[in-house]
Structure 1
Amino acid sequence: MPRAELAITGVGIQSAIGQGRTAFAAALLEGRHRFDVMRRPGRQRPLVAGTVDVAPTRFIGAEMDDPVLPPSVPHSMARTLSLSGRAALACLNEAWEDAALDRYAPERVGLVVGGSNLQQRELVNMHDAYRGREQFLRPTYGMSFMDSDLCGVCTQVFGIRGPAFTIGGASASGQVAVIEAAQAVASGRVDVCIAIGGLMDLSYWECQGLRSLGAMGSDRYADAPALACRPFDQSSDGFVFGELCGAVVIESQASARQHQRTPYARLAGWAMIMDAHRNPDPSGPGEVAVIQSALQHAGLSPHDIDYVNPHGTGSNLGDKTEVGALRECGLEHAYLNTTKSLTGHGLSAAGTAELIAVLLQMREGQLHPARNLDQPISSSMNWVGPRAVSHSVQNALNLSMGFGGTNTAVCVQRCA
């Protein structure tokens, strides 16, 4: 496959630690977090009168402030939007302005929203509110229960007339969206494409299911939420959820030069490889294969990579598998930190948001600290410690994995 001459020219981000790229970058480099027992309605199991007495849940996560909508959103739409919809519009608005996308014909602009089952908490709350009086359910529910509604609201507000669709890859969805957007531009289907990693709005049902599966962390740190999220640390016991949404704009480097846009980076290469199994457990050979394939597509050797932003969730098996894959691929020399230690695991948004973290660190010339990495699971890796490190990233590798055997990797390169 030929190397694609693509660039990332705009970003938008909504997170618990910072909303907007300036606030997000500052929070990253300062090592801030907002982990706590979650309080958003629908995140903790309600106590129901007349049922067996069960202790209330104390699921930990990082919750953001309500996103600020662009003024172009009609009031009739704004009052029916879910948290996922509001976050998507806020991210898209920032990325759109950042890349000055009004210069493109609407028919030549595409949109890919990464994620599926994005609005579960919204649906659970709606079901609870209207149970027994379903006939009074608001009509927009007939649209909003579908993930494609996010495409609908985004295309309406921003006048996008090119192809727009959702795509799922579990926790790799955001990076799958980036890859699909890159391929849309590289193939000439569109001139520019926006990839959004959608906010997966978990309810207590998903939190309980993920904990029962052994993926989400236990109550070990319920009395000390700041200590709960600890990717690659020997004391980790599962991932900690974090509300996230991110958007990146991809176009050709030639177009960026023509319109005098300064790219964040060149999108040098990417790969997606499946493990051919349904289960949530990771595959070392699959991760090795996707890293090697992305490097080959980018025309880079392992020695060229000087920074890796890993998937790193805090799962014991997942983290050990990923470190093993990086070691087998000859990447022990590259700086390694973990964005999830600050933001939490954004699930469907993780791949896009963490790519944005890479781009902002590249622009700032610093790598953000890794929180709670007190006893790394491997002493051979070049970890970024508890303080930011000055480093001019030249070639970075971003990894994102998902249940069902999804492995993705993206390489970005500093523009000359």
Structure 2
Amino acid sequence: MTVAVTGIGVACGLGHGKTAFRKGLYEAPDIFSCLTREGRGPAEGEPPFIGVEMPEPSEVLAPRLARTASFSGRVALSVLQEAWQDGGLDDIDPERIGLVVGGSNLMSREQALAARDYSARLAYVPPRHAHMFLDTDICGLCASTFKIRGFAYSLGAASASGAVALIQAREAIRSGRVDVCIALGALQDLSAYDLHAMRSLGAMGSMRFSEQPGQACRPMDAARDGFIYGEACAALVLCRQDLAAAGKTYGRIAGVGLAVDGARGPEPNSAGQVRAAMTALVEAGLSASDIDYVNGHATGTPAGDDAECETYRTLGLEEARINATKSILGHGLSAAGAIETAAVFIQMKEGLLHPTRNLEKPLDSRFNWVRSEPAVHDIRRALKLSFGFGGMDAALVLEAPDSGGHTS
């Protein structure tokens, strides 16, 4: 059964909605600065954190209900509303619609704020705290606001969560459980605790570029020194191809791969990445030589980018065009795989690849990088890679609507 993508909703530092997203992808403005959202301040004497924060979302809920929802939840509703309308889901039987939310421990900043505000007066903790900080609260918010009555659940795969949500949504359709399934990469709302830990781990970028925040995020560049956090959220509507409205398809998910490489922490593993990619290619009935575009995980961590380049070499992807969406948005963590897949489909529709910011000295000059300017390119078959702490390796093969792809 062929599964198509028929709706997209996005939010990130570029703004809310596909119009702002598309414009920002190609203009690649400098949206990096010191993080200022409450609960992300550094410890006394420590430098601030560099990253990207998004504008406030449009409110879907009435004010009384909005006060009971987390920031991650309110952004999820705004993004889902755009995807729902884009996918034309009002006419679908609600019992044939499912939802998979990718991400875990999504509200840590607001939990830290609650601990600050109520630790000395626990008797005054709001009753809503019992459920609003559970990841499943986003499922509940979405299903109670939109007509989703098939199923809804959340999953965690670290920074691969958004991609794994897409994999699970596709499988739910192919198994016949539902006809439509929404994959939502949720906003990972980091606290100062998380940011300090990531910096101490060496995964997050240092303050080497504190005077020039726009230079800090540099995936696949020789001067990279860690990922730079960026708030993001995306929802993609997956649908049985035969139910998709004529001419209303962004593309297809032709093959998927998911592997675990046996690592507990942040250590990347090229062998696991290759296994995931090969699984996706085999399912799609393709070889690596059929891939003309790669949207990499490309975080900007030294070990991560080195391992990913090794994966490209092993697969033989030297001819494919390659860019890094995180160079523009920052690293959306749980949302990364979903919003970067949305970026693939936007580029597929436009026939134009977005630039890679700060790619001044690529790690391997043999690859066909898209650097400082957009590049005209007709994407037919793309490989999207997404990896997460804990050895999570995910791969998606994405095809253009008219590519005549594999349909088994």
TM-score range, shorter chain: over 0.9
After superposition, where does 1:2-41 map in structure 2 within 5 Å? 4-41=1-38
Asked whether the equivalents of residues 225 and 300 of structure 2 are also in contact (C-alpha less than 8 Å), the reply is: yes
- Paired residue for 1:355, among 320, 332, 341? 341
Give 1:102 shift: 0.9
In the other structure, the counterpart of 1:66 is 56
C-alpha separation in 1, matches of 2:14 and 2:317: 29
Q: Report the Cα distance in structure 2 between the residues aligned to 1:304 and 1:84, rounded to whole angstroms.
A: 38
1:248 and 2:236 aligned:
yes
Give the corresponding residue for 1:112: 100
3-state SS of the aligned residue for 1:61? Answer: strand
Structure 2 CA distance for aligned equivalents of residues 343 and 41 of structure 1: 20
* Structure 1 stretches of 4+ moved >3 Å: none
**Residue 40 of structure 2 corresponds to which residue in structure 1?**
43
The offset of 1:19, in angstroms, is 1.3
Report the equivalent of 2:112: 124
Q: 2:47 & 2:37 partners in 1: Cα distance? A: 13
Residues in 1 aligned to 2:326 and 2:224: alpha-carbon distance in whole angstroms:
13
> Does the CA contact (< 8 Å) of 1:237 and 1:315 recur in 2?
yes
1:31 Cα deviation after fit: 1.3
The letter of the residue matching 1:370 is: T
Structure 2: distance between partners of 1:84 and 1:156: 16
Quick one: distance in 1 between partners of 2:118 and 2:134? 18
1:324-371 CA distance string (max 9 Å, x none):
111110111000010000000000000000000000011111000000
Contact 2:70–2:133 at 8 Å: present in 1 too?
no
Partner of 2:371: 385
Other-structure match for 1:50:
none
**What secondary structure does 2:317 align onto?**
coil
Q: Which residue of 2 aligns with 1:148?
A: 136
- SS at 1:12 equivalent: strand
Out of 374, 379, 395, which is 1:409 matched to? 395
| Deviation of the 1:261 alpha carbon | 5.2
1:169 aligns with 2:157: yes
1:115 partner amino acid: G
What amino acid is the match of 1:24?
Answer: F
Aligned to 2:378, the other structure's residue is in SS state coil
Distance 1:40 1:301 in 2: 45
For structure 2, the residue ranges without an aligned partner over 5 or more in a row are 403-408
Aligned residue number for residue 179 of structure 1: 167
Could you tell me which residue of structure 2 aligns to residue 51 of structure 1?
A: none
Distance 1:344 1:131 in 2: 33
CA distance in 2, matches of 1:348, 1:131: 28
Instruction: Note the 1:132-281 alignment, pairs <5 A.
Output: 132-256=120-244, 259-260=245-246, 262-281=248-267
Q: Post-superposition shift, 1:321?
A: 0.6
Distance 2:22 2:32 in 1: 18
- Percentage identity across paired residues of the two chains: 47
Shift of 1:14: 0.3
| Paired residues for 1:320-331 under 5 Å | 320-331=306-317
Amino acid of the residue matched to residue 50 of structure 2? Answer: I
Give the distance between the partners of 1:340 and 1:279, measured in 2 at CA: 21
CA distance in 2, matches of 1:63, 1:291: 31
- TM-score of the aligned structures, taking structure 2 as reference length: 0.97
Quick check: 1:17–1:33 contact (8 Å CA) kept in 2? no
Measure the CA separation in 1 of the matches of 2:337 and 2:374: 21
Which secondary structure state, in structure 2, belongs to the residue aligned with residue 69 of structure 1? coil
What is the alpha-carbon root mean square deviation over aligned residues?
1.0
Higher mean displacement: 212-221 or 92-101: 212-221
Asked whether the 8 Å contact 2:12–2:233 carries over to 1, the reply is yes
**Residue 300 of structure 1, aligned match among 257, 278, 286:** 286
Q: Is contact 2:42–2:49 with CA below 8 Å preserved after alignment?
A: no
Distance 1:360 1:126 in 2: 38
Which residue of 314, 317, 320 corresponds with 1:334? 320
Measure, in 2, the Cα distance between the counterparts of 1:326 and 1:103.
Answer: 43
Q: Give the C-alpha shift of residue 45 in structure 1.
A: 2.9
Letter aligned with residue 241 of structure 2: Q
Please tell me whether the aligned partners of residues 39 and 112 of structure 2 are also in contact (alpha carbons under 8 angstroms). yes
Q: Is the 8 A contact 2:184 2:236 kept in 1?
A: yes
Which residue does the alignment assign to 1:371? 357
Say if 1:9 and 1:261, in contact at 8 Å, map to a contact too: no
Partner of residue 405, structure 2 = none
Distance of 2:143 and 2:188 partners within structure 1: 20
- Do the aligned partners of 1:99 and 1:261 also contact (CA within 8 Å) in 2? no
1:154, distance to aligned residue in structure 2 (A): 0.5
Task: Give the 3-state SS of the residue equivalent to 1:285 in structure 2.
Answer: helix
AA in 2 matched with 1:213: L
Unaligned runs of 5+ in 1: 47-53
**Number of aligned pairs?**
402
TM superposition shift of 1:105: 1.0
> Aligned residue for 1:57?
47
247-256 vs 260-269, greater mean Cα deviation: 260-269
Cα offset, 1:247, TM superposition = 0.3
